[in-house]
Each structure stands twice: as structure tokens, then as C-alpha cells.
Amino acid sequence: EVQLVESGGGLVQPGGSLRLSCAASGFTFSNYAMNWVRQAPGKGLEWVSAISGSGGSTYYADSVKGRFTVSRDSSKNTLYLQMSSLRAEDTAVYYCAKDGVGIYSKDGFDPWGQGTLVTVSS
Amino acid sequence: QSVLTQPPSVSAAPGQKVTISCSGSSSNIGNNYVSWYQQLPGTAPKLLIYDNNKRPSGIPDRFSGSKSGTSATLGITGLQTGDEADYYCGTWDSSVTAGVFGGGTKLTVL
């Protein structure tokens, strides 16, 4: 069974940093692109970042570019999102989601993890 | 303001049919694959439709997707109370090299 489990969320002060992890199992991790998507409380989905299976290509939403860094470790089957210079508007549930072989391929995002809550507040 | 435009809400009676539209542009829907996601209250999103009109295994054929030009549509027939959820369309935007989602549509089954 394909499974994604996020961790690392929590309360952080404005300007602080946090690293999210997404542990993957049930598929050949290095063969698939991965994405981070967030959802602010009571709001819709917002795509955050994507990374290719090799890790050689990365993409970011304008709202996080220069502050967030996506990476992956195929030896650990784990996806990461390093977040810095955090702002109140970064408060959201962060989901990781498995993509297809290519970034934003025809296959859609399936499955999604259960999400981890990041709260940026003093 | 989302790049993809969806109606904020739709409603219909049990057993009826509903459609949810998703409007974009040539840089996103017009030249990329569209997916649809269902988010039940308090849960993570789930893939309903991929590659514009294909259903993953386990998704009933009551759910259908279509795309024409720069718009996409999700159709749901035989509505059930368990279909009450938020529905999102998503695709890639080639002009900004970024993923984009619609603002979401809340389905109420009256």
C-alpha cells in the first residue's frame, strides 16, 4: 500500500524556521515526483512546491520562493520542506502528495499524506 | 484570487446530477492535464479524476471529468449525502512554471 506520513509541524515564531518531513512507503520513491500543498485554516488548497524523482528539478510558488527549499533523500524514502523566514500567512496544514513519473504529470496527485499543521505566531 | 475559477458552491437533491466548472487559460488548462480532488470534512484531499477524464481504481463511475479548451468540468450523478465535500480542480501553469488549484467548490446534497 502506498503511504505518505508527514511530520515536523508545530508552533513557530514569525521569522523562525521549521523542517517538514514526508516518509514514503509502498512504491519506488526515486521514480516519482513529489509535491507539497498547503491549506490555510478554512481556505482552499495552495500548491507550494514540486521536486522531480531525481531531485534535479524543483519548482516553487511565488509566495514561498526564496524562503522554502524542497529536497528528497531516496536512501531514506523521505521528502523534506525546509521553511525559513516564516510569516503568519504561512500558517496552514501542509500535505505531501505523490505525483507521476514527471512533475505534474497526467497522473494527478495520489495519494496525499494526512497533513501536518504549521502555526506561525508569537 | 485563484488562477483557476470554480463556483464557490453548488447544491442538488439526492439522486440528482451536478456539474462543477473550472475555468482557466491557455497556459494552464488549455495545455496541461487537469485533475479533480474531493476533500471530505476534516480529511486530506483524494484524487477523483486524472488526465482530464480518467478515474483511479475505486472511484465509482458516478464521477466523470471532461475538458474543452480552457475549461474543465466535473460531473457527479446519483448524488449521495456522502458526496458532500469540497471539490478542487488542479493543473500546471506553464507560463509561471507552478502548480495551480481552483478555489474549491462546496457541494451540498440537500
Low-confidence residues of chain B: pLDDT under 70? none
B86 Cβ under 8 Å from any chain A Cβ: yes
- pLDDT value of residue A69: 98
- pLDDT value of residue B15: 97
- pLDDT value of residue A102: 85
Q: Are A48 and A60 in contact (CB under 8 A)?
A: yes
The CA distance from B15 to B8, in Å, is 21
The pLDDT tens digits for A24-59 are 999 999 999 999 999 999 999 999 999 999 999 999
B44 Cβ under 8 Å from any chain A Cβ: yes
Phi and psi at residue A26, in whole multiples of 5°? 90, 5
Chain A positions touching B52 (Cβ under 8 A) are 106
Q: In this complex, how many residue pairs, one in chain A and one in chain B, have their CB atoms less than 8 Å apart?
A: 75
For B50, the closest of A108, A114, A115 (CB atoms) is A108
- pLDDT value of residue A57: 95
CB-neighbour burial class of residue A42 (10 A; exposed 0-12, middle 13-18, buried 19+): exposed
The pLDDT tens digits for A51-108 are 999 999 999 999 999 999 999 999 999 999 999 999 999 999 999 999 988 888 889 9
The pLDDT tens digits for B36-55 are 999 999 999 999 999 999 99
> Degrees (nearest 5) of the Cα angle B63, B30, A42?
55
> SS in 3 state form for A61-85?
CCCCCCCEEEEEECCCCEEEEEECC
- pLDDT value of residue B2: 87
- pLDDT value of residue A103: 85
B40 Cβ under 8 Å from any chain A Cβ: no
Residue of B nearest to A45 (CA): B101
Q: Which stretches of chain A sit within 8 Å of chain B by CB?
A: 35, 37, 44-47, 50, 59-62, 95, 97, 103-115
The CA distance from B73 to B58, in Å, is 20
The pLDDT tens digits for B14-26 are 999 999 999 999 9
- pLDDT value of residue A81: 98
pLDDT at A119 over 90: yes
- pLDDT value of residue B1: 80
Residue of A nearest to B42 (CA): A114
Give the distance from residue B29's alpha carbon to the nearest chain A alpha carbon, in angstroms: 12
For A44, the closest of B56, B91, B101 (CB atoms) is B101
